[in-house]
């Protein structure tokens, strides 16, 4: 007798576009997921025919294709899918007709490019820490930029019990610089500047991997087939390690 194919519950929720695997883990830990009416343990597998629900509402795979969006996030909008907790959240702001979630985050005082999608698998690939995917930012600070500041930022700064990965930094004004990161420690740029005696005044993300910011603040667009193909190529060998985002 042929065995039924089984899938881990967090992978299933990711595959059907409900949330990322990391998001699914949080839902499971909070006891908000049930399988056939019972709250599962982390790592529980499901088979075809099992009824999966989140907060009492059954979830299943949609026949529609996945959504991939590039959004220019305004200052003041929070990158969370928990619309119950944060009124100024990214999901309510975009008001997309299908369930989508952000890939990574951009903190509330920051603005610029962020991806949103219904595809949990691409979230995992892009966020894995060792992939060295580039993210480019324009930053202004409260004091004139010095040669020493630029050198220290490029070499790596001690924050959060580690030293940041060497990165590209270019001065573009007396108080402004461009920085390209290949990691995503929590509030990384702000913490790096603070460690060197500076305070970030403005922070805008203008590029993620091969996608450049090219829409007005508060607007979004679909990623093109060519852009998605290149992202798929760039994440082909993603390792299985999660990382936060700026």
Indicate if 245 belongs to the active site: no
CA distances from 5 to 1, 8, 20, 37, 141 (A): 12, 10, 21, 20, 54
Cα-based angle 237, 168, 112 (whole degrees, multiple of 5): 80
Between CA 217 and CA 71 the distance in angstroms is: 8
Quick check: 130 and 182 in contact, CB under 8 A? no
Rounded CA-CA distance 68/71 in Å is 10
Reading the block at residue 198, the tokens are 């500076």
Distance (Å, rounded) from C-alpha 149 to C-alpha 153? Answer: 6
CB 110 within 8 A of CB 205: yes
Q: Which residue out of 25, 88, 107, 152 is catalytically annotated? A: 107
Residue with the two structure tokens 């305004």: 74
Closest of 34, 47, 36, 37 to residue 8, by C-alpha: 47
> Considering just the CA atoms, what is the radius of gyration of the chain in Å?
20
Structure tokens at 236: 């082909």
Q: Are strands 101-103 and 168-171 parallel, antiparallel or unpaired?
A: unpaired
d(CA 127, CA 244): 7
Looking at the annotation, which residues are catalytic? 107
């Amino acid at each position: 007798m042929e065995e039924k194919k089984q899938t881990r519950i967090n992978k299933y929720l990711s595959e059907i576009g409900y949330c990322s695997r990391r998001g699914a883990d949080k839902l499971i830990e909070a006891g908000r997921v049930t399988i056939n009416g019972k709250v599962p343990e982390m790592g529980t597998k499901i088979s075809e025919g099992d009824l999966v629900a989140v907060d009492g509402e059954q979830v299943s795979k949609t026949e529609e294709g996945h959504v991939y969006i590039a959004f220019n996030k305004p200052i003041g909008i929070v990158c969370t899918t928990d619309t119950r907790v944060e009124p100024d959240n990214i999901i309510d702001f975009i008001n997309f007709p299908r369930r989508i979630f952000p890939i990574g985050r951009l903190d509330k005082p920051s603005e610029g490019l962020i991806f949103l999608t219904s595809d949990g698998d691409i979230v995992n690939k892009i966020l894995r820490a060792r992939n060295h995917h580039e993210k480019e930012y324009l930053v202004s600070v409260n004091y004139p930029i010095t040669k020493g500041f630029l050198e220290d930022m490029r070499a790596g700064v001690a924050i959060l019990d580690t030293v940041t990965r060497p990165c590209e930094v270019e001065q573009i004004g007396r108080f402004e610089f461009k920085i390209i990161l290949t990691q995503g420690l929590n509030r990384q740029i702000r913490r790096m500047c603070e460690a060197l005696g500076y305070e970030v005044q403005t922070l805008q993300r203008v590029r993620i991997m091969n996608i450049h910011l090219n829409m007005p603040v508060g607007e979004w667009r679909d990623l093109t087939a060519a852009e998605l193909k290149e992202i798929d190529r760039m994440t082909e060998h993603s390792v299985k390690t999660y990382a936060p985002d700026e």
